[in-house]
Chain A
Amino acid sequence: MPSAKPSLWVLGGIGVASGFLSALFGVGGGIIVVPLLVLLAAFDSRVATATSLAAILITALSGVTSFSLFDHVHWKGAALVGLPALAGSLAGVQLQHRISSRSLTLAFSVFLAAVAVVLFIE
């Protein structure tokens, strides 16, 4: 289905919400951009994910700029996890083409829930 041209207001709303979430939690915002583009703009999930990545680049740059003004960004720490993650994400995308296992996704969600519990206890 060809996607209808989403209105500027809808896109602006998605952007504001994702920026808020991103700065509040230190995440990209794809968690809400992707489902909202699918739901409100009728994008297919591949295009929604790709478009969300491009938008997040602007979001992350703006978040880093505002937090670094108040000295909250540790650049060495960022390089320490961000650069190996770049290599890792290439491997992850390659793996995705080969395996698409439901149990793997479920295992990952259990892992996330476990991290959440540890964070609650800390």
Chain B
Amino acid sequence: MSASTIALALCLGFGAGVLSGLFGVGGGILFVPTLAFVVGLGQLDAQATSLAAMIPVVAFGAWQQHRAGNVRWRVAVVIGLASIIGVAGGAAVATSLSESLLRDLFAGLLLIVAAQLVLSVVRSTPGGSTKT
């Protein structure tokens, strides 16, 4: 890895963190393209590595939210433990798909998240039907 690759990855990692804190989206959707385009990982490896990259962010965020008294731990633990079953299934599917299909599916997910953000803006428009 060249020095400029490392510098760019550090900057984009920082930027991904800023955006995830700002918009409340997970870092994952930004880590995956960074790892694929800048670090040069394949799609599957970028996705697997993204899960590792988000651990410090998520751990610190969860700890802060815990201190603020916002975490319902029983609910979090039940969801977290049940997710292990889903992870096994998702990992089996991900490893069986081709890199290009996996990349296209990921791109589709990005579009859905983008649409969800637009919807959240529309819903929070003054005079909109839901909460202010």
A-B interaction: yes
- SS class of chain A's interface: helix, strand, loop or mixed? helix
Which chain A positions have C-beta within 8 A of B32?
25-27
B interface residue count range (under 10 / 10 to 19 / 20 to 34 / 35 or more): 35 or more
Q: Is B87 interfacial (CB 8 A cutoff)?
A: yes
Q: How far is the CA of A80 from the CA of B75 in the complex (A)?
A: 32
Please tell me if the beta carbons of B22 and A43 are within 8 angstroms of each other in the complex: no
Residue ID in chain A nearest B46 by CB atoms: A26
Closest to A80 in B: B9
Interface pair A57/B58, CB less than 8 Å apart: yes
Residues 1-59 of B at the A interface (beta carbon under 8 Å): 1, 6, 9-29, 31-35, 39, 41, 44-59
Which residues of B approach A to under 8 Å, CB–CB?
1, 6, 9-29, 31-35, 39, 41, 44-62, 65-66, 68, 70-73, 75-91, 93-95, 103-118, 120-121, 124-125
Q: Which 5 A-B pairs have the closest CB atoms?
A: A92-B21, A88-B17, A19-B86, A26-B47, A15-B82
